[in-house]
Amino acid sequence: MPNRVKSLLDGNKAWVRNTNRMIPDFFEQLAAEQTPTFLWIGCSDSRVPATEITGALPGSIFVQRNIANLVVHTDSNLLSVVYYAVKHLHVSHIIVCGHYGCGGVKAAMSNQSFGFLNNWLVHLKDVYRLHHDELEAIDDEETRCNRFVELNIQEQVNNLSMVSFIQEEWANGEFPYIHGWVYGLDSGIIKDLNLTVNDSKHLDGVYRYKKMMPVGG
Ligand code: CO
């Protein structure tokens, strides 16, 4: 087996030994069930792993990651994860966490073609178009990119708020809260963008659903 792959399996064995030493019944407990409090929607970037950067243990964060942490309403993978997290696991918090220096965001800002990836990046270009005036007014490219990262998180928090089964949860109670965060690759620090919502009041009226009538009602 190539050494690099073997190093992962060796790393796993060392991690199990360590964890068993620190928390003797850790695996027995986790094997029984998962009761995560959080759903994490983050970037696939290898430098932004949800549990490590938050010091959280396995079992606490349900995770969905894709390039540039997008919430696309035709992405049945993401929507299934969100649906399960909200309707079955009853997570209290959904965190959309982007990161400065995001390659996907940089790519979407450029006019370069990335082949098949363009079809994914077009969702980011839509965000750019929505905030065109603000972004174009920023001369420095890195500053503009960082602002684009933040605005993208804002739009993904909005996209989640538009999901009807999340609005259904809000109509029935307090949860889930949706938060927008951004991670600094160079500092390791997460910044809360203070975008937290648990209702759809911030959305344009056309995106707000009435309670669904019961079937046959
Ligand atoms: Co990224």
Torsion sign, CA atoms 64, 57, 154, 68: negative
Query: pLDDT tier at 217 (50, 70, 90 boundaries)?
Result: low
Please determine, for residue 155, whether its predicted confidence score (pLDDT) is greater than 80. Answer: yes
- pLDDT score for 214: 73
Ramachandran area for residue 116 (φ above 0: left; ψ -120 to 50: alpha; else beta): alpha
* Centroid of ligand 1 to alpha carbon of 206 (angstroms): 30
Can you tell me the mean pLDDT for 177-202? 98
Q: Ligand 1: distance of its center to the CA of 21 in Å? A: 35
The share of the chain scoring above pLDDT 70, in percent, equals 99
Q: Which of 18, 7, 43, 114 is nearest to 53 (CA)?
A: 43
The model's pLDDT over 196-211, given as tens digits with 9 standing for 90+, comes to: 999 999 999 999 999 8
Residue 13 confidence (pLDDT):
98
Query: Mean of the pLDDT values across residues 97-122?
Result: 98
At 135, give phi and psi (nearest 5°): -70, -40
Architecture of domain 36-201: 3-Layer(aba) Sandwich (3.40)
Q: Please, what is the Cα angle at 207 between 202 and 210, to 5 degrees?
A: 100
Calculate how far, in angstroms, residue 100's C-alpha sits from the geometric centre of ligand 1. 8
93 is a catalytic site residue: no
Ligand 1 mean position to 185 CA, how many Å? 10
Residues paired with 96 in a beta bridge: 41, 180
- C-alpha closest to that of 125 among 73, 70, 182: 70
Q: Is 144 one of the catalytic residues? A: no
Give the pLDDT mean for 61-68: 98
Domain ranges of the chain: 36-201
10, 17, 21, 45: which one is catalytic?
Answer: 45
- Sheet of 61-66: strand order equals 61-66, 38-43, 93-99, 177-183, 190-192
- Check whether 26 has a pLDDT greater than 90: yes
Catalytic residue among 10, 17, 47, 192: 47
* Residue 126 designated active-site: no
